Chain A
Amino acid sequence: MSYPPELKTLIRLVEKTRPQRVERAKRGEAFPALTLAEREARLKQFHPDYRLDAKRPLAVGPNRGDSLPVELVDLLESHSRLDLDAVRLDRVDIDTDVLIIGAGGAGTAAALEAAQAGASVTIATKLRHGDANTVMAEGGIQGATAETDSPCYHYVDAMGGGHFSNQPDLVETLVKDAPVAIEWLERLGVLFDKYLDGRLRVQHGGGTSRKRLHSCGDMTGAEIMRVLRDEARNQPGIRVLEFTPALELLLDECGRCAGAILLNLETKELYVARAKAVILSTGGLGRLHIQGFPCTNHYGATADGLVMAYRAGIKTCFLDSTQFHPTGAVFPEQNAGLLITEKVRGLGAQLLNRDGEEFLFSLEPRDVASACIIRECSEQDKGIATPAGRAGVWLDSPMIDQLHGEGTVKRELGAKYLQFQRFGIDIGREPMLVYPTLHYQNGGLEIGVNGETSIAGLFAAGEVSGGVHGKNRLMGNSLLDVVVFGRRAGLAASTYAHEAGTPKALSLDHVRSFERELAETGISDGNVGPMLLPNYAPEHIRARRVAMQVP
């Protein structure tokens, strides 16, 4: 397929400026970085987080008045999927010590710890065990294991990355537990890249002052998930219910969390699951496509845990900030949203506008680079239009071979090379078209250092929780987050379950009172939540779906 003629013509402009740009780069000259004040101005004017018309204040719930992305507010203000008068809670279908909702990295790590501590564990998950963003994490997992590093440096870096908004005790826990987490994974059989003598190999990631990123090739998350899932399946005390998402949390007579209503996606049966403790590890919101951005997330990232917990009264934090990765592919259309790793820019590829000219320092932080690209494609009108109507800028990957020698692109960026070669584009010879893509939910449910929430018996870990990364997460800290806080939540939930005992009465009264609050504020747009699955059917197909009742 390759690039159509009109784009080929524009590529010639890139080729024309390339020799001088390579020369300058070889001399160590770079496009001037923005000053702090300029960065601030760019972010305010162009970063999607700052677009006021894309946000709306919440009218109900514990965060009433907070201005959040409208797509999320629609969901947080949605009605329950349950017919509250018809649901029967007197027949318990599943009885377990610890119920874990969501089976990605955090949920599975939690399950292993809870089972180890002697609890019976049930994992309920919407898709398959392990279908989660964890499996897609390419870069690595941070941890101050190197001799030249220390947890203190890790702490400062994580806080700096989050613009010092992070919750300090969570960050302290994250960095102090990191080496233990790495050791735990290693003992389970995760094969990190190592030197011959067994020392762990570490690399730099964006915003790290010391080399601290541990990887397993460019499949770190996949390797971690393969191992955790395999170990969970070895445990007789862990039961996994796939294709069985939760619809609502259940509370007991004292307002403690006591289980959840689960849905069998295939038979549409509801199950009443009673648990002494519940862990939410449902992941993030990428598939809400905030402001219409494409996303890098897996199919199930629809913020289900946020919706259920919010109805139960759990406060959220930092949900006004979403992480956009500056370089998502926009061409060919089949690759739209595909993550182009930061490594490409790390290797020297520059971002260029339609005239083949640089418009930013290539290694600006993620949020600033995103803002600059959006500015170039809007106010500056120097973007490149794709045949499908998307806008983007060039990421000049052919520079890499010219800077580091023929074959570097193929060797260092093997997976990306193949993903484009399939469509007749050799990224060692032709540049890629990129635009910011939705990547990560920075905030989430408020938690303490053991994943505990303001409701007794309810814990949360991983992307669904907030505070660890403040307003902006650094590369490699999310894999660490799921392992550290997943394990902590698992252990704490099992201890709590042991002390709390079996809940007596099960109740959905919190959902009733949330519905009352919705009614009082006059919200009646018919949204229901949690979303469970994104709806990608085009408008003309939806229009043909006439109303029908399922018996």
Chain B
Amino acid sequence: MAFQDRVSIQFMGKTYRVSKESTLMEALLETGWESARELGCLGECCGACAVLYRLPDETHVRTGLACRIPVQDGISFSLVGRYPCPKPTYDLATIDDPKQALFDLFPEVTGCRKCGSCVQACPQGIDVMRGIWCAVFGDFQSVADLFVSCVQCGLCVCVCGAGLRPFLVAVYASRAHGTLMAKQSSDLGTRIHQIESGAYKDRWNVLLRQIKSSPPPAE
């Protein structure tokens, strides 16, 4: 490890030399940087480590997850932390018209200017803009499908010129769809009733006796 190639990175204005074979987050830990913020699953699932970065030969700032972006010589970056994004509260049980409620909860949602910044910013490759318009037109199923891999990093909020909160819109639409609009599973109730009415009682007692009285069966 000692003689492996090293590259120069700039983190919030400070330059460090780190091993070439690392992600931005691994590079930070290697420098001895300590923080509780911006560190989550380290495995691309949680969205804690949203990052703004610039490559040496480029003029535009890119977005991503620090646990995923490989370092390269001359890269400069800052962690975003939590972007201000208030969440409206709601009680799904009392919502009669989920499509109308979307506009009450997120009045800015119709202000999308179709610039596509959110689509470019999303580290998960989600077509965020399409999701927003699906929500506006009441197609909540499609919102849920489009946002299934959303890690809620907030980068879509950060880049939106119209002040939308796309990932929160997605959670609302997806939950409203699941709770109020989608077909509930038909077979669950039967099984729960069977268990509650003691349908498995006899079988259970036999089973427990068998397990207690004999050695574990061969696999």
Binding site for B on A (CB under 8 A): 1, 36, 126-128, 130-131, 133, 135-136, 144-147, 150-152, 155-156, 159-160, 163-164, 168, 172, 176, 179-180, 182-183, 186-192, 194, 197-200, 216-217, 219, 221-223, 226-227, 230-231, 233-234, 236, 243, 265-266, 296, 298-299, 332-334, 338-339, 387-389, 415, 419, 422-423, 533, 535-538, 541-542, 545
Chain A residues contacting B90 (CB-CB under 8 Å) are: 234
Partner of B177, one of A189, A192, A338, A387: A189
Contact at A217–B22, with CB atoms within 8 Å? Answer: no
B52 in the interface (beta carbon within 8 A): no
Chain B residues contacting A151 (CB-CB under 8 Å) are: 195, 200
* Residue on A nearest B217 in the bound complex, by CB: A160
Chain B residues contacting A545 (CB-CB under 8 Å) are: 32
Q: In the bound complex, what is the Cα–Cα distance between A176 and B200 (angstroms)?
A: 10
Contact at A189–B188, with CB atoms within 8 Å? Answer: no
Task: Apart from A127-B48, A145-B187, A334-B70, list 17 A-B contacts with CB within 8 A.
Answer: A150-B203, A152-B204, A163-B216, A179-B188, A189-B176, A189-B178, A194-B182, A197-B186, A198-B183, A198-B184, A219-B149, A230-B172, A236-B89, A265-B36, A298-B43, A333-B19, A387-B21
Please tell me which stretch of B7-15, B23-31, B108-116, B131-139 contacts chain A, meaning at least 4 of its Cβ atoms lie within 8 angstroms of it: B23-31
- Secondary structure type dominating chain B contacts: loop
Q: Mark B86-110, 1 if CB is under 8 A from A, else 0.
A: 0101111000000000000000000
Q: In the bound complex, what is the Cα–Cα distance between A176 and B149 (angstroms)?
A: 31
Chain B residues contacting A535 (CB-CB under 8 Å) are: 34
Binding site for A on B (CB under 8 A): 1, 4, 19, 21-23, 26, 29-32, 34, 36-37, 39-46, 48, 68, 70, 82, 87, 89-92, 144, 148-152, 171-172, 174-179, 182-189, 191-192, 195, 200, 203-204, 207-208, 211, 216-219
Q: In the bound complex, what is the Cα–Cα distance between A537 and B32 (angstroms)?
A: 4
Contact at B149–A217, with CB atoms within 8 Å? Answer: yes
Q: In the bound complex, what is the Cα–Cα distance between A234 and B90 (angstroms)?
A: 6
Contact at B200–A243, with CB atoms within 8 Å? Answer: no
User: 12 interchain pairs (CB within 8 A)?
Assistant: A152-B204, A156-B207, A189-B92, A198-B183, A199-B186, A219-B149, A223-B148, A226-B171, A265-B36, A299-B40, A536-B29, A541-B31
Q: In the bound complex, what is the Cα–Cα distance between A332 and B68 (angstroms)?
A: 12
Given contacts A188-B179, A197-B186, A299-B41, contact A423 B29 (CB under 8 A): no
Which 5 pairs, one residue from A and one from B, show the smallest C-beta to C-beta distance? A189-B175, A198-B183, A189-B178, A541-B32, A333-B21
* Residue on A nearest B87 in the bound complex, by CB: A233
* Residue on B nearest A386 in the bound complex, by CB: B21
Contact at A199–B216, with CB atoms within 8 Å? Answer: no
Report the minimal beta-carbon distance from A235 to chain B, rounded to whole angstroms. Answer: 8
Partner of B187, one of A147, A333, A419: A147
Contact at A233–B89, with CB atoms within 8 Å? Answer: yes
Report the minimal beta-carbon distance from B50 to chain A, rounded to whole angstroms. Answer: 12
